[in-house]
Amino acid sequence: MPTLTIKGAHVIKHKRALGGVLTLAVAVGVAVAAPTGNDVPWRNAATTVTAAESSAADHARLRELMHRLTTVDGGPGALLEVADRRGSRVLTSGVADVKSQAPVRRDSRFRIGSMTKTFVATVMLQLVGEHRVVLDAPVERYLPGVVRGHGNDGRKITVRQLLQHTSGLPDILDHLRPQEVLKDPLAHHDTRDLVNIALAHPPTFEPGTGWRYSSTGYLLAGMIIEKVTGHTYGEEIHRRIITPLGLRETYVPGDASAIPGPHPRGYVRPGEDAPLRDITAINPTVAGAAGEVISSGSDVNRFLDALVRGRLLRPAQLREMTKTRPTGNPDGRAYGLGLESRPLPCGGLYWGHTGDFLGYETAGGATVDGRQATVMVNLGPAASDAQSDGMKAAVQTALCGGRRSAAQ
């Protein structure tokens, strides 16, 4: 029986998680979705793209992957937005609403889960560049007395270790009961309470001696941002990232349970034979700085492009963010500070993050030469490993853009 886990107050499959797990023994069924596959032209109307220029083979492969995500792999609907210097293109498949069978809109917003961490890390590194935060300073300097007990000690853990998942702090998701989240999805969750739930348990290793994904670190990072600036981390994201980049479809919702603007319904399957449950309305404070942001394919792509090409961070801070360490995953992924690198099958690598929240699974990536891709499926946790693998394949195929590895 497959297991599901909640990560950073958002749900993620154990096998796909970057680190520790909180298992929810729920067998995953396959959702029935309308086998549609729709794509729209490049958004930049001034650019004419022929089939040869856009690589007919890759286009067909992307269509195939999107169709599979909403049939064999079990997602109700899926969206992929690909962008480069020519403009952006959106492919959709399946349905946004299993009752009405309405198709997925190309301008959809959705919950991006752990991709929130990249926004939070960017703000923290901007503060480092302003000499308001020191990466290798202890957490205790900014949050005195907060990280204590059961072997956890903020005097021995640095800000860098929070952002890179090398703190050894117990993951809130190992100790938050997912059944309680599903029982009352509109309940408010206080960040300090979530941190205290995690810190009631011993660390998984001594700080700096290992790597294990822990959303607790990002809850604390959000608290540090607030302590240093006098504003919530969400207000700082808006001022430092959303407004300068013109991200009109990106929100840090706080207690607001609705998704503004057009969006697919978000679904979870609570049991092997259970019908899909609509979990679109949820209080995102259950994720906080570890995963509450709402965005869109176009906005995520714009953000990742600006980040990896140096528009948001000074060179020294971007170097720190992209200084990675292996995660132990056989696919070669490595983790920096809120940003992950993965090898591309056509050579080189891309930078991005994955995200999982009740009702949605997302993945996004960008290359330094100006290509970006973001994919979303409105079923979270994923119906199967194949769903997560298919999403990764869609991002990588889009980023390779017609290039082929020697092995292909």
Residue type, 33: A
**How far is Cα 370 from Cα 403, in angstroms, rounded to an integer?**
15
**How far is Cα 390 from Cα 375, in angstroms, rounded to an integer?**
10
Of 88, 326, 71, the closest CA to residue 212 belongs to 326
Residue by residue, what is the 3-state secondary structure of 96-129? Answer: CCCCCCCECCCCCEEECHHHHHHHHHHHHHHHHH
Q: What pLDDT is recorded for position 59?
A: 87
Q: What pLDDT is recorded for position 26?
A: 29
Across-strand partners of 356? 361
Residue type, 312: L
Q: What pLDDT is recorded for position 365?
A: 98
Cα torsion angle, 296, 302, 305, 307, sign: negative
Residue type, 318: L
Angle CA(260)–CA(269)–CA(187) in degrees, nearest 5? 50
Of 345, 405, 407, 404, the closest CA to residue 55 belongs to 404
Q: What pLDDT is recorded for position 55?
A: 64
**Torsion angles phi and psi, residue 103, rounded to 5:** -70, 160
- What is the pTM assigned to this prediction? 0.87
Burial (CB count <10 Å: 0-12, 13-18, 19+), residue 270 = middle
Written as one string, the DSSP assignment of 43-69 is S-TT----TTTT-HHHHHHHHHHHHHH
Active site residues: 114
What the block records as the tokens of 407 is 């092995």
Across-strand partners of 2? none
Q: What pLDDT is recorded for position 401?
A: 84
Task: List the domains of the chain with CATH numbers.
Answer: 4-400 (3.40.710.10)
Divide the 408 residues of the chain into consecutive groups of 10 and give the mean pLDDT of each group: 34 34 29 40 40 68 96 94 94 98 98 98 98 98 97 98 98 86 95 98 98 98 98 98 98 98 94 88 97 98 98 98 96 96 96 96 97 97 88 96 52
